[in-house]
Amino acid sequence: MFVNIARQPIFTAQKKLFAYELLFRQTLGLSLGELSGDRATTSLLSTAFLTAGIEKIAGNKICFINFTKNLLLKEIANFFPKNAIVVEILEDVLPTIEVIDACRNLSQLGYMIALDDFVFRQELLPLIELANIIKIDYRLSTSDEIERMLYRLRHFNLKFLAEKVETYEEFEHARKLGFHYFQGYFFAKPESIRMKEVSSIKTSKLRLLAEISKHTPDLKDLQKIIESDVAVAYKLLRYINSAYYYLLKEVTSIRQAIIYLGEKEIRRFVILVVISELTADKPTELLRLSLTRARFCELLGKGCRQYSSETSELFLLGLFSMIDAILDTPMPLMMEKMPLSDEVKAALTHQRGPLMPFLQAVIAYEQGRPEECLQVLEFLRIDTEKVYAMYLEAIKFAALID
């Protein structure tokens, strides 16, 4: 069964990851509109907590999950740890006596309550008094409307979350208004349309990245490069001895690590370290999402007979898909400096070419556009029933940076 759970990050004002919202989108051929809200949420809870394991999906971060009126009254939330979920009440849930009683019970038990797509109405006051977080959609309300709502709610003990924040200008505006949390893809876009001068340290890292990317690396040369950088050497030994590899005996030397990983994997490791250092002044989620995309693209390639030999290119496609946001430099200028294949450059610069469908499928999945994702997967002839397992594997891979 193809169960699509996408996760969307929620940040603090300091751009630190606070939580994820988990979104159920599709199972087999049924779209969200063909499913009841009850079935959507119960499927999400079952998959996330009982089947996949919430730690694989969200690590140690709390998860916002939508609850319908029916599920609130049935006390479904009570079956799940209060430190693992935020009970998100949908905007169409009316504040009846039964709903208010259910929310009061959750609040007394220590669950956090969020009101989704909030627009102030007097009748919502009983729920506002019980809520911990108010979510305000930046696409549904004007700036003036948002300011008026915040003013009306100033006396309540609330945190405010700005959702669908798509630009850094919107992020800064919401932050100045006093919002505490932010949800959207503002972090995945360049902070400035103007090209920033890349520092000498980043320039050297880009040169190393170019050297690693443009030809088959010599393992002895790689050993010298890694051993000359204490931080890189430490990260390599930590990486190979992580639970991801399930080694029976600890690897204690760079040479051992290189031999064990082999040419392809050690090359990839150096690329990951360089990208990680380039994102040092950015939200960690930007790197995490880049790595998730890289592994997801690669796994989709393995599942596509026509492109099964192109998985290295697909990994780089996903990895560099947000290099413009990482360095605040337009993508075309970045691609001029990078020794990548024409196919990868065409996809990243012009959104076309034979590799573009893979990136299109990955972005559609992560942003919760299931119909578009399914359409592309069918075009690529990839088994949709395996996609969720691929997504979990990609998340697990990206978690290595933590």
CATH number of 3-188: 3.20.20.450
Instruction: Report the C-alpha gap between 330 and 192 in whole angstroms.
Output: 9
Residues recorded for the chain: 402
Q: Residue 305 corresponds to which tokens in the numbers above?
A: 């007979």
In eight-state DSSP terms, residue 88 is E
pLDDT in tens, the chain (402 residues): 444 567 889 999 998 999 998 876 444 344 434 444 455 555 555 554 544 556 667 778 898 988 888 888 888 888 788 988 899 998 889 999 999 999 999 999 999 999 999 999 999 999 999 999 999 999 888 899 999 999 999 999 999 999 999 888 899 999 999 999 999 888 887 775 444 555 545 655 666 665 565 556 677 777 877 777 777 788 888 878 876 677 778 888 888 888 888 877 877 777 777 777 777 777 888 888 988 999 999 999 999 988 887 788 898 899 889 888 888 888 888 888 777 889 999 999 999 999 999 999 999 988 878 788 889 999 999 988 888 889 889 988 888 665
Instruction: Report the C-alpha gap between 10 and 14 in whole angstroms.
Output: 11
With DSSP H G I counted as helix, E B as strand and the rest as coil, what are the percentages for the chain, rounded to 5?
A: 55, 10, 30
Q: By C-alpha distance, which of 231, 299, 308, 311 is closest to 264? A: 311
CATH number of 200-401: 1.10.3210.10
Q: Where are the domains of the chain?
A: 3-188, 200-401
